[in-house]
Amino acid sequence: MIDATLFTAEVVPLSIVDAFVEFLHPSELVGVLVDGLSKAAIYAMIAGGLTLIFGLMGVLNFAHGSLTMVGAYLGGAIMVLSVSSATGPMTRLAFFFVGIVVVFGALSAVGGALEISLIRRLYDRPPIAQILLTFGLTLIIDELMRIVLEFYDLQPRADWIAAWGTKPWFLSQRLSIGPVDVRGLALFEILMGVLTVGAIWAFLTRTRYGLFIRAGSEDSEMASALGIDVRRVFTVVFAMGTGVAGVAGMLLMWDTLWGASVPLGAETLLPAFVVVIIGGLGTFRGTVVAALLVGMVDAVMTWWFVNEIRFTGLPELTIFLILVIVLIVRPQGLYGVEGVGGH
């Protein structure tokens, strides 16, 4: 981290004009666009699972970030164990996709088990109880992860460098496309984000089970009266949501901006909450739009403040400023329905 200060920034009018001209330069603009899209993809992946769980069950899952962190470590472990220095880039990529399937399966199982054993008991209690329960779960998951890390002598606080090393070379390079060059990993993240969002969307709108989920989310009483086993739908959605969180984590373990570490849980949870809230609790479309909005604003601000004003804390600040502003202007979020989530 660059040690930045807020009020020592020297901004003279001319440099702002210069910066603006520089910003509008196509190569910079495309670079910022790709950065923003890659951030949006990651936010959408993490928040996607969260919004499914909230939309259907009204559970704001605080453990989501920790489960993402578990996914990052699990994915990292799979990669580190299976990849050696001699492994070619395509084989590495293949291992990565195998890893994604394993991580999705493992975390879905964990999520399903959590829903059945713990969260199910709380549906008839006020929603605050579910927030509290999942908050307690984060403590347990994080501490268990620390025990495991200490046991295997992986540094619990620093990012996990061995996992970064398993990246195929073309993802750690900057790739030039025409006049601009972009981070290879950013393109990969965008691809993964589009695939994930597309998969969830297809599942929700094109499959019979997705229909059950949407029905249960609209009116769970009516849905169960029509013969849908809403309880099981809850379990499946919770399992899916945590599975997607794990997949997002697996992607983050390659990203040098994030990396696998225990605090990753809190680091991903907060932006994910912001995205979900801005989108309007429980609407998948809103979440995707909000992820795009937050990702782009974040990327623009990062470029602007790192390149010109040199206050690196500001992108972080903007995420929460967007949250506050959106909630002031539109209390129910972009696509939220007034009254929903008012508990």
Partner 1 sequence: MYHVATTSQFGLVFESFLPQVQTMTPILYFGLFAMSFDFISGYTGYLSFGHAVFYGTGAYLVIVIANGKIPLLAAGTPFMISVVLAAVLAALIAVAIGLVSFRLTGVYFAMITLGFAQVFYVFIRGWDWVATAPRDGPSVSFGTHPEGFRIGIPYVDGASYAIGRLYGSGLEGFLGLFDLSTTVVSFYMIGLVVLVCYLAMQRIIHSPFGRVMIAIRENEERARAIGYNTFYYKLGAFAISGAFAGVAGALFAGYRRSVTPENTFYFLTTGDALLSSIIGGLGTLAGPLYGRLFEQGLDEFLSKGSEGGGLLPMLQEYLSRSILETNALGLTIEEMIDAFINGRASLYVGIVFVLFVLFVPNGLLGSLRERVGGPIAKLPGRLFGGEKP
Asked if residue 329 binds partner 1 (CB under 8 A), the reply is no
d(C-alpha 315, C-alpha 296), whole Å? 11
The answer to whether the beta carbons of residues 107 and 238 sit under 8 Å apart is no
Asked whether the CA dihedral 96, 98, 101, 105 is positive or negative, the reply is negative
Asked if residue 320 binds partner 1 (CB under 8 A), the reply is yes
Residue with tokens 């969830």: 200
Residue with tokens 């979440």: 287
CB of 81 to partner 1, least distance (A): 20
d(C-alpha 48, C-alpha 215), whole Å? 18
What does each C-alpha distance from 75 to 21, 154, 164, 336 come to in angstroms?
42, 14, 11, 34
d(C-alpha 153, C-alpha 146), whole Å? 10
Asked if residue 313 binds partner 1 (CB under 8 A), the reply is yes
Q: Which of 16, 140, 161, 194 binds partner 1 (CB under 8 A)?
A: 140
Asked if residue 186 binds partner 1 (CB under 8 A), the reply is no
- Residues 26-45: x/- map of binding to partner 1 (CB under 8 A)? --------------------
d(C-alpha 300, C-alpha 109), whole Å? 38
Which range touches partner 1 (CB under 8 A), out of 78-86, 203-211, 223-231, 274-282? 274-282
139 vs 222, which CB is nearer to partner 1? Answer: 139
154 vs 190, which CB is nearer to partner 1? Answer: 154
Instruction: Tell me which residues touch partner 1 (CB under 8 A).
Output: 3-8, 60, 118, 121-122, 125, 127-129, 131-133, 135-140, 142-144, 147, 150-151, 266, 270, 273-274, 277, 281, 311-314, 316-317, 320-321, 323-324, 327-328, 331-332, 341-343
